[in-house]
Amino acid sequence: MKKYLFLALITILPTILAAQPRFRAGAVVGLTASQIDGDLSAGYNKLGLQGGLRVITRLKGKTEASLEFLFSQRGSQNELIPNDFDPNPFKLTLNYVEIPIQWHYKDWLIEYDEEKYNYYKVSFNAGLSYARLINSKVDDVTLSLNNVAPDYLEKNDLSIVLGANFWATRHLGFTVRWNRSLVLLYDSRTSPQGGKSWNQHCLYFQTVYLL
């Protein structure tokens, strides 16, 4: 019951806020590229999907704040393009519900005759993001990842977020974002499995449409 109430809230809340003069709301869709330090692979090889809602409130001058409700796929993969001849392929998919809170600084004002249609072409953002791991999937022929996932993975994540945005119109924008976890996904010091600890970092490529 609580899950359905939460889903209803995050669906209805942006619509309510968008009706207020200081607020705007809209949809976010995009791709993620992720890697995990400590899993014996390198590079942002794990691609995933992302989607959700963004709410923005105007602050003073060229600044604003945003809150997002996202479904985000993260994880790890040994090769960006799977190779049938790879003797040890592996892929770890992590599905999160994510709530980033960010501060934005805007520039490059585009002005129209009616002030309400003015908008800024670019903006830069920084903030924190809380994420909750809802499920995971492991494809690993060596079974080394299976020793850790999912039983020893940290369910809660807190990340630092840095990004830049380009707005093609007042409504349509594109975002590139770097996300670095401050919490270990797997802490070998507290696990009987030992090995190396894991830490996540991701790139997000988003398309945003605001009402």
**pLDDT tens track for 23-45:** 899 999 999 999 999 876 778 99
Residues 63-74 have a mean pLDDT of: 97
Tell me what pLDDT residue 34 has: 96
- The CATH number assigned to the domain holding 182 equals 2.40.160.20
Average pLDDT, the chain: 87
pLDDT of res. 36 = 92
Q: What angle do CA 53, 201, 58 make, to 5 degrees?
A: 35
Averaged pLDDT, 109-119:
87
pLDDT of residue 104: 98
Which is more confident, 202 or 21? 202
Report percent pLDDT > 90 for the chain. 63
Mean pLDDT of 58-66: 94
Question: Cα 152 vs. chain centroid, distance in angstroms?
Answer: 22
Q: Residues 167-185: what's their mean pLDDT?
A: 96
What phi-psi label fits residue 86: left (phi over 0), alpha (psi between -120 and 50 degrees) or beta? beta
Q: Where are the beta strands (DSSP E) in 14-155?
A: 23-37, 46-58, 63-77, 90-110, 119-140
Sign of CA dihedral 2, 3, 9, 12: negative
Confidence at 12, pLDDT banded by 50, 70, 90:
low
Bridge partners of residue 200, in order along the sequence: 36
Identify the bridge partners of residue 122 per DSSP, sorted by sequence position: 107, 166
Amino acid at 16: I
pLDDT of residue 17: 54
Alpha carbon of residue 3 to chain centroid: 21
Confidence band, pLDDT 50/70/90 cuts, at residue 143? low
Q: Which domain holds residue 40?
A: 2-81+89-210
At residue 141, the pLDDT reads 63
Per-residue pLDDT, 90 = 84
DSSP single-letter state for residue 83: -
Query: Rounded to two decimals, what is the model's pTM?
Result: 0.87
pLDDT band at 142 (very low <50, low <70, confident <90, very high): low
pLDDT tens for 89-99 read 788 999 999 99
Higher pLDDT, 37 or 13: 37
Beta-carbon contacts of 199 under 8 Å, excluding residues fewer than 6 positions away, are: 36, 37, 38, 181, 184, 185
pLDDT of residue 84: 67
Beta-ladder partners of 97? 71, 132
Instruction: Output the furthest CA–CA distance in the chain (Å, rounded).
Output: 66
Tally of domains within the chain: 1
